[in-house]
Chains A and B, each alone.
Chain A
Amino acid sequence: MGIKWILRTLACIPLLTTTTAWSAEVHGRSSTQFQWYNDIFTEKKVAEFGEYLNLSITKIDKDEKFTIQGYGRATQDVRNGEGLNGRLYYLYADYRDLYDKVDLRFGRQFINYAAGSALVDGGQIELKKVGPVAFSVMGGRNVFFDLNGEATRAHDFVFGAAAYLMGFQKTDAELSYFMKFDKDGIARDQLGASFKQYLFNSVKVYGNTRYDMPSETFSEVLAGVKYFPTADLVFTGEWYQSYPIFDSTSIYSVFAVNRYQEGVFRADYTLNDKISINAGYSKQDYGEGADADVFEVGCRIRPVEHIQLNLNYDRRSGYGGKLNGGIAEITYEPIKPLELATGIHFDVYERDRVTGEETARKYWAGAKYKLTQNMSASVRIEDDVNARFKSDWQGRAVFNYDF
């Protein structure tokens, strides 16, 4: 599927009105943007116009079971003459409740199973309401991107299947299988499982795992518990382990690797309408005596009705280096259609003892104005001051039209 086809399709869609001749309804958002930024690849300043289009076509059939969903962008560089660039995030046709039991979805779509997830040019079929277990199968071309665009090659395909519990209010469980092909054969061959159980009106236990069949290893295991004595207070404790897993067709799949483990404890508390706070600690273990500690705290404060302040701070030390920094942001709505916001990111880090400490700062400010019920305009600018730039300005100006 050529990029030109995608761009032509995207260009034509805004021509549709909200009510078309065949009574289907087209809704969505057209976002016309002007962006300027520093291209890390070419180290040139880029200025380009972009059209981001998100649409939903509904009421196509009498029973309103059939819909079409799409989202993509096209950009035109106006400074360096590098031409058109496009990306189709998704475009699929969705038919729900065929015979009240089958959901069909065909086209480019994001599919997530416990065993693996992928952006797929293909289809997904779900069979439900045939008992306590529902089933899903999916397959198609595996779509992935590099920095410039789509990097999918011939023979890149994925397939998967899942069985999951359906209709239980307090229990969720899934078993799934995921297979990925590339030009050299079967690249991934994985089983996955996911589980959630709510207990005693205040406890949730959950887990998630992936089993890599070629290496016969549980490549990821997560086990966690949440305790929520009130609606405003949640305690979380988790243990997680992983092994680096590579495509079976990669030379890296033959190497010995260490297990990574992580223990997390955190608390989230909403004191009242004005203040909510969170704090967490995680211990990371990389094997062979290497570990790290990460502390994080954050709060959201709404001192008066039209102002909100967000603060986040985290501190990491141990294997891999040190990091000490966070984000402060404030949003202010002086009048109903206008929103003003500004913020700073500040980090002091040391990647390796031999490289020394460095600082990264980002200052940003933005404004958004709602022109009418379905039109808004916004501007956001930022300046990066860091080890790579003394000053690097970039930003975006956006006009959004909801139809």
Chain B
Amino acid sequence: MKKLFFIVALLGCALVYLQQQSYADKIAHKEYAKMEIKECNACHKGEGIAPNHDTDFIRGHRVLASKAGNNCKQCHEQKWCLDCHQGGGTGDDLARENFGRDYKPKSHRSDFISLHPLKAQDNPQQCYRCHDAKAFCNSCHSRFPKGSLRIKSHLMLGESHQTTSWAIGEHSTEARRNLQSCQTCHPEGDVCIKCHSSGKTRPHPRGWKAGNLKDRSNGKVCQKCHLPGTY
């Protein structure tokens, strides 16, 4: 009982402290919007706040733009974010290039169609912050003629060049490292199910929590491989 009282008292004190500390609103930045970044940095340093619009901004702005402490909108409209995240562009920045009708972020340089398999390896999650894996990637990837991909796991081997290397084991390692790239060409996973369906090679990880997925998809995912009532 004493312990409980102590914890409640501690929490109460913490809440009172937080209450007292709050309402000290952060400095409004709207009037500083047109200042040089150098001047911003000097003020930030004086306040003990790290300079944040440096050359690392594109890579690092994700934490800055999170809900807490986010004051982006004091200087930027949503347009400023969406020109990179969803496309757009009103031609002001000459260095910005277009992909068709929309601006392309600077990270997508030179021949990005050829370069993107390489660039996508640098933190594989970053592509999906702007692009829907199935809708966007599959728009192009679904059009590749079968056997035309020049990636190692899909190249033809053997004297007659009729055996694909995925059949002899290369694909499993590749798939574990970058399964999202499989989805870009095989959105429904039909090619996977040929070997990984019930009774064949088990695809699930160790400690597999089947119930979580079953509940959320009403068993539809499970039934792609298993008969109803057998999983």
Contact = CB atoms under 8 A, between A and B. Distances in A.
Nearest to B112: A360
B135 A388 contact: no
Interface in A315-362: 316, 319-321, 323, 325, 327, 329, 331, 339, 341, 343, 345-347, 349, 351-355, 358, 360-362
Interface in A118-162: 119, 129, 131-133, 136, 144-148, 151, 162
Interface stretch (A3-11, A12-20, A207-215): A207-215
Given A206-B63, A347-B109, 7 more contacts: A87-B102, A147-B140, A202-B48, A251-B188, A321-B118, A360-B114, A386-B110
> Interface residue tally of chain B, by bracket?
35 or more
Interface in B5-25: 15, 18-19, 21-25
A362 B221 contact: no
B23 A90 contact: no
Given A37-B100, A75-B101, A250-B221, A168 B21 contact: yes
B88 interface: yes
A380 B93 CA distance: 10
A380 B96 CA distance: 9
B118 A351 contact: yes
Contacts of A364: 97
B114 A250 contact: no
A367 B66 CA distance: 36
B91 interface: yes
Nearest to B180: A244
Interface in B60-117: 60, 62-69, 77-79, 81-82, 85-92, 94-95, 97-98, 100-102, 106, 109-111, 113-115, 117
A109 B176 contact: no
Interface in A261-304: 262, 266, 268, 270, 273, 276, 278, 280, 282, 284, 286-288, 290, 292, 294, 298, 300
User: Which secondary structure characterizes the binding site on chain A?
Assistant: strand
Given A168-B24, A184-B218, A398-B91, A252 B176 contact: no
A71 B88 contact: yes
B24 A71 contact: no
A204 B49 CA distance: 8
Given A87-B87, A186-B217, A255 B203 contact: yes
A354 B155 contact: yes
B113 A167 contact: no
B148 interface: no
6 contacts: A90-B82, A110-B81, A168-B21, A250-B183, A287-B177, A366-B95
A374 interface: no
B185 interface: no
Contact of A162 (B51, B67, B109, B133): B67
A146 B136 contact: yes
Contacts of B109: 325, 327, 345, 347, 362
A248 B216 contact: yes
Interface string B23-46: 111100000000000100110111
